[in-house]
């Protein structure tokens, strides 16, 4: 069963403001009846401000009155019809200043251990730009002499799951490698 937000604070409010039984409050808040009794006796949650479940939309006044009239009735958490927060879309994410210096090291590690990853995938994984990737690859980066390949997962620049997904994507859709020959093949139709 779903529990209310801040169950102990909700229990404090229900003990102070309603005539519900300890068992009803305990069942609604997901706590033990003895804990509710201790809250009522002032032994637990001393000084805790109660959280109003009516104001937060978790209970209705009618539901509380129904519970007060029938001591065996269980309170039902009100279903929220508010839209839930949307998961943030994938985009550029913030990198702390202390980790920004680790990006060239991570790029060097990925170029060395996973050369099959495209520049776009590297850019997405590390949160860097294609010119930076090219500079690290060509050793023209301004700090090239100090770059030491380091795993971006251990540096905290990406998660192992993100790296595994990028590698799986490359394996599913391999990019054909174009080899440059010294002389192009000629076909004589004699």
Domain ranges for the chain: 7-69, 97-172
CA gap 106, 157 in Å, rounded: 8
- The residues, any chain, with a CB within 8 Å of residue 75's CB and separated by 6 or more, are 20, 24, 27, 28, 59, 63, 64, 67
Give pLDDT tens digits for 133-153.
999 999 999 999 999 999 999
How many CA atoms within 13 Å lie on the side-chain side of 155? 27
Which H or E element spans position 118? none
Higher-pLDDT residue of 46 and 145 is 145
Phi, psi of 144 (to 5 degrees): -60, -35
Q: Judge contact between 20 and 14, C-beta under 8 A.
A: yes
Cβ atoms of 43 and 5 within 8 Å: the answer is no
In angstroms, the CA 45 to CA 118 distance is: 56
Average pLDDT, integer, range 48-55: 90
The pLDDT of residue 92 is above 80: no
């Amino acid at each position: 069963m779903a529990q209310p937000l801040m169950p102990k604070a909700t229990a404090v409010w229900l003990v102070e403001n309603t005539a519900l039984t300890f068992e009803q409050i305990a069942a609604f808040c997901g706590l033990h009846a003895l804990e509710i009794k201790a809250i009522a006796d002032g032994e637990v949650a001393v000084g805790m401000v109660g959280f109003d479940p009516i104001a937060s939309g978790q209970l209705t006044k009618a539901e509380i009155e129904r519970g007060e009239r029938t001591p065996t009735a269980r309170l039902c958490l009100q279903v929220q019809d508010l839209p839930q927060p949307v998961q943030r879309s994938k985009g550029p994410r913030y990198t702390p200043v202390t980790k920004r210096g680790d990006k060239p090291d991570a790029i060097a590690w990925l170029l060395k251990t996973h050369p099959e990853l495209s520049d776009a995938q590297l850019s997405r994984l590390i949160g860097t730009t294609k010119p930076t990737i090219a500079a690290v690859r060509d050793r023209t980066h301004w700090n090239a002499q100090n770059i030491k390949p380091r795993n971006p997962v251990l540096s905290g620049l990406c998660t192992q799951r993100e790296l595994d997904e990028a590698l799986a994507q490359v394996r599913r859709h391999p990019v054909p490698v174009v080899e440059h020959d010294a002389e192009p093949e000629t076909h004589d139709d004699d």
